[in-house]
Amino acid sequence: MEVYNHDLIILGTGLAGLRAALEAAQQSKGELDIALVSKLQLMRAHSVAAEGGTAAVMRQDMGDSFELHAWDTVKGSDFLADQDVVDFFVHEMPKEILHLDHWGIPWSRTEDGHIAQRPFGGHTYPRAVFAADKTGHLEMQTLYDTLMKHTKKINRYDEGFVTSILIENNRFAGLTMIDMINGKLVLIRGKALILATGGAGQIFGFTTYSETVTGDGLAMAYRAGLTLKDMEFIQFHPTGLIPSGILMTEACRGEGGTLLNNKDERFMGAYAPSKMELAPRDMVSRSEMTEIEAGRGFPGPEGLDYIHLDLRHLGRKQILERLPLIREVTIKHIGLDPIEKPIPIRPVAHYTMGGVHTDIKGHTPVENIWAAGEVSCVSLHGANRLGSNSTAECLVWGRVAGGEAARYCANASMPEMPKTAEQEWAKIEALIASTGTEDHYQIRKELRKNLDATMGVFRTGEQMEAGLKKIRELKERYKKISLKDKSLRYNTDLERAIETGFMIDVAEVATLGALTRTESRGGHARRDFNVRDDENWLKHTMADYTEAGPKLSYSKVDISMWKPVERKY
């Protein structure tokens, strides 16, 4: 086992991870020894798939305000967001847009040269700043290019598959990692860790997520003793391309795209008359499923019935200027040009509102661990995230966590050599040597099919009970898996097997939390408890690891600005 020592370790190199690294490097004036660890090549993080925009108050002189952005976010969250967190976020976010502007991002602009903004669902002002429909990719590229000015103390571990987070005496002590390139077992030690590994969308079969988004950081944190919060709240994006699930950005509707059923009706008027297609995502997704279940959809492959996203009326010029990636993707994947034909879409698993519990500064209860981005739950999004608030969250809390961790490292000592590293390697070696009869690929396939069926846009207690039972059966079967590849170098068989174990843990936490929450709120819509219950459920779900399964408890929601009201649009 090789051992590498650094000051600050950042696990995950998407928007939150890169922003954290850049802030830490700037805070320390380049003197901090930073390790960037990713199971991918650095610029392959899923953040590059973010398309539509990043929310910020940039037009206070033209009708927008911090209070309005905060209200939209709180209302959109179905009043489960912590309001002190929301207030902090809306005030910090415009600075991030200007930072990126000064670092050279090619924001789309108005004719008079101002940074352009467009409407997004649930926002009462068009505040989504964008770069055509490649916003996440260009934000990533800008952060990476700027970070390269600090390369002297930046150490990259690309294609390093981390298998565990080691916490001893309530301090982070290290990461165990398989160096996939060289086929080595590695221990990476550091004074502090920033967790920025993203969500867990691959626990679903029909999802917008890259194959790599398997909830690794969530599961490792959970197993190491960190609390997961509000994991039952999964966002379904209204416009996933049939049959792949690839995201058709909300910018399509922000630019004026419409949703049509098989009667060629613009049906959102029956569900959210004031917002139409730009209602919050949970509402639009439920409306689409209601149309499909009522027989007003189109028959699709493998039960994936769909409705239409129509951009034709926008015209060729607007589509080529504002939505070029959407056109490229639909032509490439289904041979359809949205200039000429409507796009087949349906709701698709898209975002994890819950995550590792942190305070308002992204700090976990462990002294030297922070979390930022989708892996964390600071609780900005509550029960439903507004579109364009996610890339924004990554930027704000990437910066905050990077600065906090850098200041901590300046005065901290290196934790003692972890005693549990050898135990983790023993588990990996046992997995490689295993001779069980179960196929972990089949287990993953069944898990994803199960989540699609039991934890979708609409849920019932009966479905989720069956789903939880299935997850626990898969958990037992997983103990009997075996591998065909017994090597270490680029052993994707081993990597997929470990990922599947992570996915099972995350799925169990999410399903148990959803089954226990006997109400409907935001992205958690139960047909057997179809109203929001503030008296009993205005609280966060907290899940802690035990050998027997998740142990649930609850914590208060910060209601410091607005009392909950009925959520209408």
Domain edges within the chain: 235-347, 421-526
**Cα 516 → chain centroid:** 23
**Domain 235-347: top CATH class:** alpha beta
Pairing relation of β-strands 171-179 and 184-195? antiparallel
pLDDT of residue 519: 98
Fold of 421-526: Methane Monooxygenase Hydroxylase; Chain G, domain 1 (1.20.58)
Query: Angle at CA 394, nearest 5°, toward 391 and 396?
Result: 110
Closest among 440, 463, 445, 446 to 524, alpha carbons compared: 463
DSSP secondary structure letter of residue 412: P
Rounded-to-integer distance, Cα 567 and Cα 96, Å: 30
Whether the ω angle into residue 243 lies within 30 degrees of 0, i.e. cis, is yes
Identify the residue whose tokens are 């959210």: 272
Rounded-to-integer distance, Cα 165 and Cα 484, Å: 26
The one-digit pLDDT tens for each residue of the chain (569 residues) are 899 999 999 999 999 999 999 999 999 888 899 999 999 998 899 999 888 899 999 999 899 999 999 999 999 999 999 999 999 999 999 999 999 999 999 999 999 999 999 999 899 999 999 999 899 999 999 999 999 887 778 999 999 999 999 999 999 999 999 999 999 999 999 999 999 999 999 999 999 999 999 999 999 999 999 999 999 999 999 999 999 999 999 999 999 999 999 999 999 999 999 999 999 999 999 999 999 999 999 999 988 999 999 999 999 999 999 999 999 999 999 999 999 999 999 999 999 999 999 999 999 999 999 999 999 999 999 999 999 999 999 999 999 999 999 999 999 999 999 999 999 999 999 999 999 999 999 999 999 999 999 999 999 999 999 999 999 999 999 999 999 999 999 999 999 999 999 999 999 999 999 999 999 999 999 999 999 999 999 999 999 999 999 999 999 999 999 999 999 89
Tokens of 358: 């942190």
DSSP secondary structure letter of residue 527: S
Contact at 8 Å (CB) between 465 and 521? no
Query: What contacts 520, CB < 8 A, 6 or more positions away?
Result: 526, 529, 530, 531, 532
Closest among 279, 274, 296, 357 to 541, alpha carbons compared: 357
DSSP string, 469-506: HHHHHHHHHHTTBB-S---STT-HHHHHHHHHHHHHHH
Contact at 8 Å (CB) between 13 and 373? no
Identify the residue whose tokens are 């992205």: 523
Q: Hey, what amino acid is at 531?
A: V
Cα distances (Å, whole numbers) of residue 421 to 8, 166, 173 = 19, 7, 9
Q: Hey, what amino acid is at 413?
A: S
Longest C-alpha distance within the chain, in Å? Answer: 67
Cα distances (Å, whole numbers) of residue 515 to 232, 465, 553 = 8, 7, 14
Closest among 194, 221, 199, 198 to 25, alpha carbons compared: 194
Closest among 505, 499, 497 to 481, alpha carbons compared: 497
pLDDT of residue 357: 98
pLDDT of residue 30: 82
DSSP secondary structure letter of residue 420: S
Torsion angle, CA of 214/215/220/226, rounded to 10 degrees?
-170
Rounded-to-integer distance, Cα 4 and Cα 188, Å: 5
Rounded-to-integer distance, Cα 334 and Cα 410, Å: 53
Rounded-to-integer distance, Cα 363 and Cα 405, Å: 9
Contact at 8 Å (CB) between 447 and 507? yes
Closest among 231, 239, 250 to 208, alpha carbons compared: 239
Half-sphere exposure of 519 (CA within 13 A, CB side): 16
pLDDT of residue 149: 84
Tokens of 298: 């189109």
Q: Which residues are catalytic?
A: 237, 253
DSSP secondary structure letter of residue 415: P
Q: Which helix (H) or strand (E) element contains residue 290?
A: helix 281-293
Query: Hey, do 235-347 and 421-526 end up sharing a CATH topology, with the first three levels equal?
Result: no
DSSP string, 321-368: HH-HHHHHHHHHHHS--TTTSPEEEEEEEEEE--EEE--TTSB-SSTT
pLDDT of residue 42: 86
pLDDT of residue 105: 97
Secondary structure class of 509 (helix, strand, coil):
helix
